[in-house]
């Protein structure tokens, strides 16, 4: 029989695992996959179960001071059809940002400082059960700060 603390330790390590994500077109962000955690997804395609919440942590370091940062989250459902993720797309992240050591931070964000954006979002029951490519960006008025794409399946 495996001791409980070994099981708990393994569960914590699995929960902290990075998610294999793809660069957005035209971007080259170093160590991108190591800086994105979608839970409970560690490898694509991520299974987004309807009626549940998906958790996300994105580690990023802005190269300029930022007054406001918003999500840009959409799903490419094929055939050139791209739809926003309800309840996430366009939302400010400023109340969900932490310093690298876990202290609460807020906007404005400082250039050269590493931050963690932590959030969860619903997978609504109204979403159809289909394959999608999720496009997720953190952006300000002047463009992307970080961006990734990941294949997923709504189940």
pLDDT in tens, 76-108: 998 889 999 888 899 999 999 999 999 999 999
The answer, yes or no, to whether residue 110 has pLDDT greater than 80, is yes
Alpha-carbon distances, residue 103 vs 1, 100, 114 (angstroms) = 38, 7, 12
Task: Provide the pairing of β-strand 46-48 with 143-154.
Answer: parallel
Q: 140, 146, 145: which is closest to 21 by C-alpha?
A: 146
Query: What whole-number distance in Å separates Cα of residue 90 and Cα of residue 151?
Result: 21
The whole model's pTM is what?
Answer: 0.84
Q: Where in the sequence is the domain holding 55, given as residue range(s)?
A: 4-154
How many structural domains compose the chain?
1
Average pLDDT (39-45) is 85
Which has more confidence, 16 or 41?
41
Contact partners, residue 153, CB within 8 Å, separation at least 6: 45, 46, 47, 48, 129, 130, 131, 132
Residue 101 sits in a domain of what CATH number? 2.60.40.770
**Percent of the chain predicted with pLDDT > 70:** 89
């Amino acid at each position: 029989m495996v001791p409980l603390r070994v099981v708990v330790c393994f569960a914590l390590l699995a929960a902290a695992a990075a998610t294999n994500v793809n660069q957005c077109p035209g971007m080259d962000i170093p160590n991108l996959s190591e800086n994105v955690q979608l839970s409970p997804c560690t490898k694509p395609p991520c299974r987004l179960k309807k009626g549940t919440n998906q958790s996300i942590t994105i580690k990023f370091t802005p190269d300029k001071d930022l007054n406001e940062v918003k999500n840009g989250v959409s799903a490419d459902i094929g055939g050139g059809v791209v739809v926003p993720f309800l309840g996430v797309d366009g939302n400010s992240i400023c109340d969900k940002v932490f310093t690298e050591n876990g202290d609460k931070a807020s906007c404005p964000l400082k250039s050269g400082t590493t931050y963690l954006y932590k959030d969860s979002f619903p997978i609504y029951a109204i979403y159809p059960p289909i394959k999608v490519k999720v496009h997720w960006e953190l952006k300000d008025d002047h463009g992307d700060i970080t961006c990734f794409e990941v294949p997923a399946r709504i189940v």
